[in-house]
Structure 1
Amino acid sequence: MNYFELFSLPAIFSIDQNRLSQTYRDLQKQYHPDKFAMQDAQAKLQAMQKSTEVNDAFVTLKDSCLRAQYLLKLNGLDIELEQRTLQDTDFLMQQMQWREKISEFTEDDEDEIDHFNKEIIGLVKDLEAEIEVALQNEQLEVTADLVRKLKFMLKLQVELELLEEKLFD
């Protein structure tokens, strides 16, 4: 089952998050396994499978990176488990600079860390906008490279969050 069809959403990158959440709640009510507790084993199994599918679809569609990967997959380009690395030398150099910057932060750099975090959030939003345009133009390889960059940026955000916890908790 196509996740977009399951949630009655158009198969596009920018989706209505409120509608996604509301449909998720509605589908969970409809397929929650507890609702089938008095049914036979086959009905229970089908409800469990459908509930799992609804959960997987929601997680995928809610997350911009997973949603972009899923759209690529629907268009015949599956990059989920690939080992291919990004070939953009400038971006790779920027990655090294960002990682070095993170490694040099100390507890005295709270304002700098906050500023850097805001910069990364802005870059993520820019990448998401580029992904939307590339998908609209059916530029699958361009989209794949943008998704690879987005994956890195999201990992960088996590690293920054972990650093903040370590330094300020």
Structure 2
Amino acid sequence: MSASQAYTASPRLANMWSKIMQSNPKVSKQFHSALAYSYVDKKLAQRSSVDSIKTRESGLLLSSSRLDPTFNMAAFALGQQNKRLLSNDGSSSSSSFQHQNKTTSTCWKCGKKRDSAVEIYFCICGSILPPSDTSTYFDLLGLEKSFELDVDVLTKKYKDLQRILHPDKFSQKSEREKFYSAEQSSLVNLAYTSLLKPLSRGLYMLSMHGETLNEGTQCEDVEFLMKILETNEDLDEVTNTESLRMIEHLNTRNINQCYEILSEAFRQEDIAGAKEIVIKLTYFTTIDNKIKEMELYETS
């Protein structure tokens, strides 16, 4: 469907696009996707103030909004890759280790060459090690590098690791060991959070192939955007729970279809195709968030 056909698909959609263009008379067609995305969550934006989310693990302050899940999840799941994540207790003795032992290829205590494939957290001498620069989030949690994963297995591995890595377990150890445990524990926490949800998992897997999404990433499928606009218009006009459930059912089906296609794309290493699906998944996720907001509003 061409842009002109999409605009004239129905009087209602044509009117919607007309309003958008009237408010932005100088905008060119290359920005239509961004405009659509902004319009999609207009109502949610009116109800939601911008959230300042401070990630305790990294100390990074993200000014974000549920209006743009692509930017939020990309910043969270991708922006922290391969960084040292500190649980800063404010002591200069602990933070000084950030600049020591830059090379993680040998054990700081016994000097043995480190096998990063198996010695992810501890050296065979028993000493805790700093995070390896080569380990992926899948490596950290002992999982196969696949979009499909068992969340129960993921959660169990996460809890097991936190039992042995949590800083409380090292309260009687040296400052260096306290510092490394905080690094490792925080990194495991971030890995778990990033792989837990399919959207953030997809974003992370894209980053493993050098692909990232940012605030300006747009969907170029005009027909898809028109369907998204139509769904949001339907949500704005919902008057009863039954209608809301019908929209939710359809959106959930779309999300599940995205998961299936995305899994196959990563399996075939079709990264361009995977990126396209992840972008679309962010739109469906936004609709899902909007529905949940409406449900909370109805029950309050």
Where on the TM-score scale, by shorter chain, does this alignment land: which range? Answer: over 0.9
Aligned equivalent of 2:287: 156
Measure the CA separation in 2 of the matches of 1:115 and 1:99. Answer: 13
- Which residue identity lines up with residue 28 of structure 1 in the other structure? Q
- Which residue identity lines up with residue 111 of structure 1 in the other structure? E
Aligned equivalent of 1:91: 224
Kindly report structure 1 stretches of 4+ aligned residues shifted beyond 3 Å: none
1:18 aligns with 2:149: no
Aligned equivalent of 2:250: 119
Give the TM-score of the pair, scaled to structure 2: 0.54
Give the TM-score of the pair, scaled to structure 1: 0.93
- SS of residue paired to 1:39: coil
- RMSD between superposed Cα atoms in Å: 1.2
Query: Shift in Å at residue 118 of structure 1?
Result: 1.5
- Write the deviation string for residues 141-167 of structure 1: whole angstroms up to 9, x where unpaired: 111110011111111111111112112
Query: Shift in Å at residue 41 of structure 1?
Result: 2.1
Name structure 1 gaps, 5 residues minimum.
none
Q: Percent identity?
A: 24
Q: 1:14-163 to 2 correspondence within 5 Å?
A: 14-79=148-213, 81-106=214-239, 109-163=240-294
Query: Shift in Å at residue 38 of structure 1?
Result: 1.4
Q: Is the Cα–Cα contact under 8 Å of residues 231 and 247 in structure 2 kept in the other structure?
A: no
Measure the CA separation in 1 of the matches of 2:211 and 2:229. Answer: 28
- Structure richer in helix, relative to its length: 1
- Which residue identity lines up with residue 219 of structure 2 in the other structure? L
- Which residue identity lines up with residue 139 of structure 1 in the other structure? D
Query: Shift in Å at residue 82 of structure 1?
Result: 4.9
Measure the CA separation in 2 of the matches of 1:168 and 1:101. Answer: 20
Name structure 2 gaps, 5 residues minimum.
1-134
Measure the CA separation in 2 of the matches of 1:21 and 1:152. Answer: 27
Measure the CA separation in 1 of the matches of 2:184 and 2:285. Answer: 30
Measure the CA separation in 2 of the matches of 1:105 and 1:163. Answer: 10
Query: Shift in Å at residue 40 of structure 1?
Result: 2.2
Q: Is the Cα–Cα contact under 8 Å of residues 167 and 178 in structure 2 kept in the other structure?
A: yes
Measure the CA separation in 2 of the matches of 1:45 and 1:111. Answer: 54
Aligned residues: 166
Measure the CA separation in 2 of the matches of 1:90 and 1:136. Answer: 27
- Which residue identity lines up with residue 64 of structure 1 in the other structure? P
